[in-house]
Amino acid sequence: MVRVEKFLSLFRLACKSGLLCSLMVGSAIADNLLAEPEASNLFQRISNAFRQNNYDGVFIYSHGNSMESLRIVHRLDDTAERERIVRMDGPKHELIRNGEEVTCVHSADWKGDINHRIPAGPFAKAFIRDVSHSSSGYQVELIGPGRIVGRDTMRYAIKPKDEFRYGYQIWLDQETGLLLKSVLLHGERVLERFQFTQIDLENEIPDTELNLGIKGEVFKHHPLLLSESETIEQKKPSWKLTWMPDGFVMRMQGIRRTHGGDMQADTLTYSDGMTAFSIFIEKASAEAQEQMATQKGATVAVVRVIKSNSGNHFVTVVGEVPMTTAKRLAESIVPVELPK
């Protein structure tokens, strides 16, 4: 039971870090395949549109068996972004971003886990992939014009070049390039869906719309920061992958520790610019035999036990990749051989 709780904690940690928050989509048939420079320009336009446009809108975001309705208000002040995301359903919950600082705010009587999923959809700089460098792993096809929430759009299919990642369909506002709708599919199965139901891209956004709207006492926490009892210690690699899909590169590596000094887990994070996965390695008992796999929406998690000369270790792979990819990654992690 203890190990299961740790596994779920890592799963929530990945959700908290943004591994659940991406551009979404699936396959389509079209003749207008974009050349790689054109695809790169498209991804750059998407990335810029999130940051540079001012907008106030309501969108729905579905993942797994859950569906949320949220309001987003975004404004660029000089070079700093300000943003407010408000959950429209259930308990009061807001996310406030000012530049690089992101704060989750709940009413004071909130009883949930601080590692809860952040209702950001594909928004907020803290959760958006560096899509400007995503074209190497995907082919992009222009499907044609459309119309979303009263605005003219262009629809694209973003198809992976291999079976190790998901595909996407996206609807971009023709005037601004802002993502207005997206769907993520694995084969014929819809894993995540996002769509604006209303949006204002014209009017100025006053400070009052970016300030916290919950009245009275509140509970605040910073979801993208380590807890007060944790640190990430950078180190030379102790583990490596003998296989991973083309186009992924390491983004972060370290040891997650408590301030007491106990090792929590070796942590490795990889991204192809549009999607990401993380690997956590921690010590296990000599009797450990546990194997687990789970999925919520587009995010999967796989656990296996590695037996080596240095003892047993749990390996947990969490990311927005197909289950077969996560399992193969889990089988591919090995200790780094030290020079003799």
Residues 196 and 270 grouped into a single domain? no
Q: What is the pLDDT of residue 257?
A: 53
Residues 43 and 107 grouped into a single domain? yes
- The answer to the question of residue 167 being in a domain is yes
Report the side by side order of strands in the sheet with 93-98. Answer: 32-33, 138-148, 151-160, 167-173, 179-186, 189-200, 55-63, 66-77, 80-87, 93-98, 101-107, 218-221
Q: What is the pLDDT of residue 117?
A: 52
Q: pLDDT tens across 95-150, in order? A: 898 887 888 899 888 877 665 555 444 554 333 445 656 667 889 999 999 999 99
- Average pLDDT score over residue span 266-274: 85
Residue 72: burial class (beta carbons within 10 Å; 0-12, 13-18, 19+): buried
Residue 219 CA to residue 169 CA, distance in Å, equals 37
Last residue within a domain, chosen from 192, 221, 250: 221
Q: The domain containing residue 280 runs over which residues?
A: 230-335
CB neighbour list of residue 310: distance below 8 Å, 6 or more residues apart: 335
- Which is more confidently placed, 16 or 101? 101
Residues 317 and 213 grouped into a single domain? no
Residue 106 CA to residue 119 CA, distance in Å, equals 12
- The answer to the question of residue 4 being in a domain is no
Least Cα distance to 302 among 327, 285, 277 occurs for 327
Of the pLDDT bands very low, low, confident and very high (cuts 50, 70, 90), residue 235 is: low
Decide if pLDDT at 14 tops 70: no
Say which amino acid occupies 59: F
Q: pLDDT tens across 60-70, in order? A: 988 878 888 99
Number of domains in the chain: 2
Per cent of the chain over pLDDT 70 is 75
